[in-house]
Chain A
Amino acid sequence: MIKTIHALTLNGANNKDYRILNYPFMSENYSLYKQATALVGIGVWEYNVVSEELFWDDMTRMIYETDEGYHPSLIDTMGFFSQIPSVYGVENELEKIVATAPHLDCQVEIKTQKGNYKWISSNAKTEWVNGQCTKLIGTVQDITDVRASIEKLRLSGNNFYNAFNHSPIGMALVSTAGRWIKVNDCFCQMLGYTMEELGDLTFQDITYADDLDKDVLHLKQMLNKELKTYSTEKRYLKKDGEIIWVLITASLVSDKDDTPLYFVTQVMEITDKIRKTEMLIKKGNGISNIINSRKIGAWEWHIEADVFVCDERCAIMLGYSEKELLNTMTKWLSNVHPEDLTGLTKRLEYCFLNKTDYNCEHRMRHQNGNWIWIESHGEVIEWSAEGKPLIMLGTEADITAKKQIELDQKNVMDLLSVQNERLTNFAYIVSHNLRSHAGNFQMMLDLYADEQVEEEKDVIINLLRKNASNLSETLSNLNEVVDIQLSSQKQLKTLNLCEQVNKALINLKGMIDKEGARFSIHIDQTLQIEYRPAYLESILLNLFSNALKYRHPFRTPEISVEATLDEDGGMLKISDNGMGIDLNLHGGKIFGMYKTFHPHKDARGIGLFLTKSQVEAMGGKIEVESVYGTGTTFKIYLIKRK
């Protein structure tokens, strides 16, 4: 170092006076300059190459933190440099300056006299006289703060690269053209490529084709400064061809002139999440499809305010185009079938009282006027502190079809049980009646064999004859019954009921006249029914003749015949003022075969059995009301089978 300083001084004379500091530059301008430099914290120094004298001003001394009167030699100043390479740096610079360069600019770290480290920026300028470097004039500035900021930046830069390389999420720097500038390990692992392999690819190469347009559009928007950053879910193709879902966040890095440099992209794999979401959506769709196909509507009821919110399915179910038409429970309930309203209200009350679920099947009026069957389920989801129900959620399902099937099944079951009952009855009748005749034959024949008296034998023969004729009558009755059981809906005819009634009365004219009976007919003359003519005739004759046969002994028989027609079919009512039947005693067997209830010589116990069979064979039913000693009313429901 000393050698170097000597070299610097090769061309200059050794002028000791230089140290006296009466330098004309200083004397003339010093005070002004001193004020200015103090203002900006810049120290000034001057080195006379010839005299090897160094001048420091106060500010310089302040920066170097020296005593007020400190005057260092050039070599002394070298002692301040904290690092040897820096000293060499200065020497080199000085050599350069003295030799050729007109200017010096360097930044070095110094250790002040007080022992503090500082960064300084030093500028120097040479003065030349006759081709000789005579003087160096320079400034010194404390730049410790600036250096600290720069160092901080450098360190944080390292942090960024550490974060980049070791991040658990994929990161990549992508050129504006889509080429990979730098990618991290995680990104490579995610895609199954090495960094080198990715270097040959663009992001377009590994993006799933369907997602590319959207991606490119986003990048363009960023390049056009329309977007600062963007985030999207997209698919990448792995090296092995597998598709993965990623969430990428990209932002554009530009230089200070706002020229785009590259994209910083963060990539997180979300394949699992997407699969779960897809599954949920699938499930959701499934549930929604189920709800749609089952015709289930949902509703919410804010009980205190009576605000009823139902979905469109509820409204559609009832034929309403706008669900607002059903915005209170009161409105909703006004559509419930009157017969079902009490049951529904009771169930609601029970649910509120016992905090249970609410379930109810009831009918509701569709806007087209039809009744539909609804299955309601509900649950109170919010109770007040006092235990009052506040909000109830529920569903409504249209179960009309199900109900219709249930109804059909019940009808079929009813019909079957009626038929079964008739068959059992018939089997019993056949067995009983035929057996009793057979038994009579055997008993009479046994008696005949034992009988010695001829007259008695004749009696037995007569009884055998009678038994034979009874048997054939029974057989013909049974035949008639079988005929009714087997008859189908064939031979149906449209009959005028009033005409048929009058026809029956004409047939019974002799009997009516004999009993002096009075018939009053209240039937609309235009009333038509679909019926089997023979049955209607038989039914009317049977009931009319019964009314005459079982007349009250002290009263003129008065018989009223009425017919009404309603939606369930027609009803024929025949009332008399005859003896009446004790239904408590005989009610169970009034329509039974061979059941008679009056000591009347013509009572055969077959008429009402046949009548009932005929009415039922036509799909209707017969009912009886009677007060013993007052009279009897038969009601025949002429239901047409569907």
Chain B
Amino acid sequence: MTPLKTVWIIDDDPISRFGLKKLSEMTNFCLSIFCFENGQEALNYLRYIIDAAELLPNVILLDLNMPILDGWQFLDAIKTFTLSENIKICLVSSSIDRLDHLKAKQYTAVSDFLVKPFGKSDLQRVFQEADSLND
């Protein structure tokens, strides 16, 4: 099993960001981890690297509630991009609102929904599934 090259963490909460980064590192799956404070920052970077396939992330851990551009708006924005199906987007939120989970199902790009708090093993499973896509 080859470790994933890149994981993006898009979350406005510094504590949450720190925790996700730490957990991701502990899975030993990632070569590099990128953090963004909101959807807009991530979107700006994505636009910049869109043509450089090797720089695209394998997994995006996306928070829902964020200022400026929230998780949903980010998902709406990347609909216009032709992104590889190999990019796995996993929603990461403390929301247990049924409506959020229903809404998540509307986005084909979204493959998982992790509800905070979660442990290392949950993240490991997500990474493993993403890894199998790359094989």
Residues of A whose CB lies within 8 Å of any CB of B are 428, 431-432, 435-436, 438-440, 442-444, 446-447, 450, 459, 463, 466-467, 470, 585, 594-599, 603, 605
Return B19 CB to nearest CB of chain A, in Å.
4
- Report whether B117 and A443 are in contact in the complex, using a CB–CB cutoff of 8 Å: yes
Give the residue name and chain of the B residue nearest to A470 (CB): B15
For the complex, is B1 an interface residue (Cβ under 8 Å from A)? no
Interface segment among B27-35, B91-99, B105-113: the answer is B91-99
B18 cross-chain contacts in A, Cβ below 8 A? 459, 463
User: What are 30 A-B contacts defined by CB distance under 8 Å?
Assistant: A431-B95, A431-B96, A431-B97, A432-B97, A436-B13, A436-B16, A436-B94, A439-B16, A439-B94, A440-B13, A440-B16, A443-B16, A443-B23, A443-B116, A443-B117, A444-B15, A446-B117, A446-B119, A450-B120, A463-B15, A463-B18, A466-B14, A467-B15, A470-B15, A585-B69, A594-B65, A597-B67, A597-B68, A599-B40, A599-B67
Provide the bound-state CA to CA distance between A598 and B22, in Å.
Answer: 28
CB-contacts of B87-135 with A (<8 A)? 94-97, 116-120
- Report whether A450 and B26 are in contact in the complex, using a CB–CB cutoff of 8 Å: yes
Provide the bound-state CA to CA distance between A438 and B116, in Å.
Answer: 9
B118 cross-chain contacts in A, Cβ below 8 A? 443
- A440-B97 in contact given A585-B73, A605-B67 (Cβ < 8 Å): no
- Report whether B97 and A444 are in contact in the complex, using a CB–CB cutoff of 8 Å: no
- A447-B94 in contact given A439-B116, A459-B18, A467-B15 (Cβ < 8 Å): no
Known contacts A431-B97, A432-B97, A597-B67; 15 additional CB pairs below 8 A are A431-B96, A432-B65, A435-B96, A436-B65, A439-B16, A440-B116, A443-B118, A447-B22, A450-B120, A463-B14, A466-B14, A466-B15, A467-B15, A585-B69, A605-B67
A440 cross-chain contacts in B, Cβ below 8 A? 13, 15-16, 19, 116-117
Name the contact of A603 in the complex, choosing from B15, B22, B67, B96 (C-beta under 8 A): B67
B65 cross-chain contacts in A, Cβ below 8 A? 432, 436, 594
- Report whether A444 and B19 are in contact in the complex, using a CB–CB cutoff of 8 Å: yes
Name the contact of A435 in the complex, choosing from B23, B40, B116 (C-beta under 8 A): B116
- Report whether A435 and B68 are in contact in the complex, using a CB–CB cutoff of 8 Å: no
Category for how many chain B residues contact A: 20 to 34
Give the residue name and chain of the A residue nearest to B38 (CB): A599
A467 cross-chain contacts in B, Cβ below 8 A? 15
CB-contacts of B21-57 with A (<8 A)? 22-23, 26, 37-38, 40
- Report whether A447 and B117 are in contact in the complex, using a CB–CB cutoff of 8 Å: no
Return A600 CB to nearest CB of chain B, in Å.
9
Query: Which of A431, A435, A459, A466 lies at the interface centre, i.e. has the most chain B CB atoms within 10 A of its CB?
Result: A435
Provide the bound-state CA to CA distance between A444 and B17, in Å.
Answer: 11
- Report whether A435 and B94 are in contact in the complex, using a CB–CB cutoff of 8 Å: yes
Return A429 CB to nearest CB of chain B, in Å.
10
B95 cross-chain contacts in A, Cβ below 8 A? 431-432, 435
Return A421 CB to nearest CB of chain B, in Å.
14
- A438-B97 in contact given A447-B19, A459-B18, A598-B68 (Cβ < 8 Å): no
A439 cross-chain contacts in B, Cβ below 8 A? 16, 94, 116-117
B22 cross-chain contacts in A, Cβ below 8 A? 447
Return B42 CB to nearest CB of chain A, in Å.
13
- Report whether A596 and B68 are in contact in the complex, using a CB–CB cutoff of 8 Å: yes
Provide the bound-state CA to CA distance between A443 and B118, in Å.
Answer: 7
Provide the bound-state CA to CA distance between A389 and B120, in Å.
Answer: 83
Provide the bound-state CA to CA distance between A467 and B13, in Å.
Answer: 10
Provide the bound-state CA to CA distance between A598 and B66, in Å.
Answer: 11
- Report whether B23 and A447 are in contact in the complex, using a CB–CB cutoff of 8 Å: yes
The 4 closest A-B pairs by CB, nearest first: A596-B67, A439-B116, A439-B117, A436-B94
Give the residue name and chain of the B residue nearest to A585 (CB): B73
Give the residue name and chain of the B residue nearest to A466 (CB): B15
Name the contact of A436 in the complex, choosing from B26, B67, B116 (C-beta under 8 A): B116
B117 cross-chain contacts in A, Cβ below 8 A? 438-440, 442-443, 446
B73 cross-chain contacts in A, Cβ below 8 A? 585
Return A25 CB to nearest CB of chain B, in Å.
148
Provide the bound-state CA to CA distance between A192 and B38, in Å.
Answer: 107
Give the residue name and chain of the B residue nearest to A443 (CB): B19
Return A477 CB to nearest CB of chain B, in Å.
15
Give the residue name and chain of the A residue nearest to B69 (CB): A585
A438 cross-chain contacts in B, Cβ below 8 A? 94, 117
Provide the bound-state CA to CA distance between A325 and B49, in Å.
Answer: 81
B13 cross-chain contacts in A, Cβ below 8 A? 436, 440
